[in-house]
Amino acid sequence: MTEGQEFAVHEEPVWRERANFLIHAKLPESGRPECFEQLWTRQLGDEEFQICCIPFFVPGLVLGDVVATSPGHGLTYVVDRLVEPSGRYVFRAWPGQPFRPQDEIARGLTALGSLIEWSSAGMLAVDAADGEHAKLVAGFLAERERAGQLTFQPGPARP
**Per-residue pLDDT reduced to its tens digit, 102-143:** 788 889 999 999 999 988 767 889 999 999 999 999 999 999
Domain with CATH 3.30.70.600 in the chain: 89-154
Residues in CB range of 128: below 8 A, 6 or more apart: 88, 89, 90, 91, 114, 134, 136, 137
Specify the pLDDT at position 159.
45
> Concatenated DSSP letters for 77-117?
EEEEEEEE----EEEEEEE-SS---HHHHHHHHHHTT-EEE
Global pTM value:
0.89
**Per-residue pLDDT reduced to its tens digit, 39-89:** 999 999 999 999 999 999 888 899 999 999 999 989 999 999 999 999 999
- CATH classification of 89-154 is 3.30.230.10, yes or no? no
